[in-house]
Amino acid sequence: MFCTHCGRENPDTAPFCFACGRPLSLIGPSSPPAVAQTPARYAGFWIRFAALIIDTLVLTGASLIAAIPVGVLTLLGSDDFAVNGTVAGYYLVSFVGSWLYSAFLESSAMQATLGKRAVGIVVTDTRGRRLSFGRATGRFFAKFLNSFTLGIGWILAGVTAQKRGLHDFAAGTLVVFGTRDARTSASGDSTLPTTAEQSS
């Protein structure tokens, strides 16, 4: 399939042009009616880093608050047990809370954590559709691959054409500018947020 914008040849199953990033139109007699689309504006490394800072502050505060009851209960034991129990409770709440926070919000109608929403970006699959909870969960745990590659997985979000980190490739996701969930066309396929939606 050739891109009608830049002329680059792409695989027939590719949703976006590998050269310019524009959505590829379906071709053939059984193709659904054309849906007006605009090029996706992919969120790069720094805007995603800003969102991460906000999310980290939110999660740290929530984890500290949630760990207080654990600390109170452990005060009934020895001092060492109280300290160790509080620390263990904090990390347990922090890990589980981070997973549920990311997975629930990125698979919700917002398609974004509070940090991503604050900077105006959303998470979609590679066709611009809202994530399922399972895919959002996979994306969260795939972030550990970035640590295993000494941070190279994060750097990919700044240098690849679609600004995808290693966890995005693993989970089949994109991070784009937009403040509304992807709209569904009459054919059942979803489109990425339009320019009007991105600037609203």
**Hey, is 37 helix, strand or coil?**
coil
What was the pLDDT predicted at 138?
Answer: 96
Return d(Cα 57, Cα 48) in angstroms, integer: 14
Tens digits of residue pLDDT in 167-181: 999 999 999 998 554
Beta strands in 80-153, from DSSP E residues, in sequence order = 121-125
Q: Which two tokens stand for residue 153?
A: 């997985």
Strand partners, 177: 121
Return d(Cα 24, Cα 115) in angstroms, integer: 30
- Going by the DSSP 8-state scheme, the letter that residue 2 receives in this structure is B
Q: pLDDT tier at 183 (50, 70, 90 boundaries)?
A: very low
What was the pLDDT predicted at 24?
Answer: 73
Q: pLDDT tier at 44 (50, 70, 90 boundaries)?
A: very high
Length of the chain: 200
Q: Which two tokens stand for residue 63?
A: 């984890």
CB-based contacts of 117: which residues, under 8 Å, 6+ apart?
A: 110, 179
Report the C-alpha dihedral over residues 100, 103, 107, 113, rounded to 10 degrees.
Answer: 90
**Hey, is 67 helix, strand or coil?**
helix
**pTM, two decimal places:** 0.65
Beta strands in the chain, from DSSP E residues, in sequence order = 121-125, 173-177, 183-184, 190-191
Tens digits of residue pLDDT in 5-25: 677 677 777 777 766 777 775
